Amino acid sequence: MTNFHISHGAEVAAALRDGRPVVALESTIVSHGLPRPDNLRVAREIEQAVRAAGAVPATIGMVAGRLVVGLDDEELTRLATADGVAKLSVRDLAVAAATGADGATTVAATSAVAAAAGIGVFATGGLGGVHREAAQTFDESADLVTLARTPIAVVCAGVKSILDVGATLERLETLGVAVLGYRTRRFPGFYLTDAGFDLDWSVDSPEQVADVLAAREQQGVHDGGLIVANPLPVDEQLDPALHDRTLAEGLARLERDGVTGKAVTPFLLAHFHSATEGASLAVNVRIILRNADLAARVAVATARRRA
Ligand code: PSU
Ligand code: MN
Q: Which positions make up the binding site for Mn(2+)?
A: 139
- Sign of the torsion formed by the C-alpha atoms of 13, 14, 20 and 25: negative
33 touches 107 (CB < 8 A) = no
Measured by CA distance, the residue closest to atom 7 of ligand 1 is: 126
110 in ligand 1 pocket by Cβ < 6 Å? Answer: no
Query: How high is the ipTM of this complex?
Result: 0.98
26 in ligand 1 pocket by Cβ < 6 Å? Answer: yes
Secondary structure, 3-state, 219-287: HCCCCCCEEEECCCCHHHCCCHHHHHHHHHHHHHHHHHHCCCHHHHHHHHHHHHHHHCCCHHHHHHHHH
Give this prediction's pTM: 0.97
Annotated active-site residue in 74, 160, 236, 262: 160
265 in ligand 1 pocket by Cβ < 6 Å? Answer: yes
Helix (H, G, I), strand (E, B) or coil at 86: strand
Give the DSSP per-residue string, 98-149. Answer: HTT--EEE-HHHHHHHHHHTT--EEE-S-B--BBTTHHHH--B-HHHHHHHT
> What are the pLDDT tens digits along the chain (307 aa)?
689 999 999 999 999 999 999 999 999 999 999 999 999 999 999 999 999 999 999 999 999 999 999 999 999 999 999 999 999 999 999 999 999 999 999 999 999 999 999 999 999 999 999 999 999 999 999 999 999 999 999 999 999 988 999 999 999 999 999 999 999 999 999 999 999 999 999 999 999 999 999 999 999 998 899 999 999 999 999 999 999 999 999 999 999 999 999 999 999 999 999 999 999 999 999 999 999 999 999 999 999 998 8
Give the DSSP per-residue string, 143-193. Answer: HHHHHHT---EEEE-BB-TTB-HHHHHHHHHHHT-EEEEES-SB--BTTBS
For residue 62, what is the DSSP state?
E
What does residue 103 show for φ and ψ, rounded to 5 degrees? Answer: -155, 150
The strand pairing partners of 179, in sequence order, are 227
Report the residue among 32, 39, 59, 106 best suited for mutation to probe ligand 1: largest number of ligand atoms under 8 A from its CB. 106
26 is catalytic: yes
Label the pairing between strands 86-88 and 226-229.
unpaired
Torsion from C-alpha of 12, 17, 22, 27, nearest 10 degrees: 40
